[in-house]
Amino acid sequence: MTIYNFEDDASHMNLDQMYMREAYKLAQKAYEEDEVPIGAIIVSHGKIIGKGYNLTERLNDVTAHAEMQAFTAAANYLGGKYLKDCTLYVTVEPCVMCAGASYWTQISKIVYGAKDEKRGYASINPKIVHPKTEVIAGVMEAECRELMQQFFKSKR
């Protein structure tokens, strides 16, 4: 009698997808505000402790990426700058700035959706992420990529 027999990997995947959906909602919010649609959340022990979406236009600040805001929010929440036992969910592969910031936070895990061939950190310098940080790519990849493509198409 098989009732629930989730494999460990499968349940992790569901959890990652569930949290990525939250990051995706923030990306949609960015889209609605005419910002490049990238969203990010930080999860610690099953709780969302930081959120952010791209605000470079509104704040007129090239550093106002979704991840940077989520890092700051999470550090404020925790009352400490290190994000150990935390996972960053972000809809698009982090750029070198955000990957570099993640290094300083010593975050445990990064999960991202769509790959960014041009500005993603991995094709520029994969070592910029902390060696102890686990990276998982491609969660909700199609949706995250599509949102970006839609946005840039509308800009042309």
Residue 110 binds Zn ion, judged by CB under 5 A:
no
One residue of 51, 65, 109, 130 binding Zn ion per CB under 5 A: 65
Instruction: Please give the Cα distance from 93 to 144 (Å, whole number).
Output: 10
Q: What are the backbone dihedrals phi and psi of residue 10, each rounded to the nearest 5 degrees, phi first?
A: -65, -40
12 annotated to bind ligand: no
Interface stretch with Zn ion, choices 16-24, 29-37, 96-104, 124-132 (CB under 5 A): 96-104
Interface stretch with Zn ion, choices 13-21, 47-55, 76-84, 88-96 (CB under 5 A): 88-96
Instruction: Please give the Cα distance from 131 to 91 (Å, whole number).
Output: 22
Let me know if 67 is a catalytic residue: yes
Residue 98 binds Zn ion, judged by CB under 5 A:
yes
Nearer to Zn ion, 15 or 97 (CB): 97
144 annotated to bind ligand: no
Identify whether the C-beta of residue 88 lies closer than 8 Å to the C-beta of residue 42: yes
C-alpha count within 13 angstroms, C-beta hemisphere, residue 52: 25
Strands 86-92 and 47-53, sheet pairing:
unpaired
Residue 112 CB neighbours (<10 A): 29
One residue of 20, 36, 95, 144 binding Zn ion per CB under 5 A: 95
Identify whether the C-beta of residue 111 lies closer than 8 Å to the C-beta of residue 88: yes
Interface stretch with Zn ion, choices 4-12, 41-49, 98-106, 135-143 (CB under 5 A): 98-106
Chain positions contacting Zn ion, by CB under 5 A: 65, 95, 97-98
Which residues are annotated as part of the binding site for Zn(2+)?
65, 95, 98
Task: Report the catalytic residues.
Answer: 67
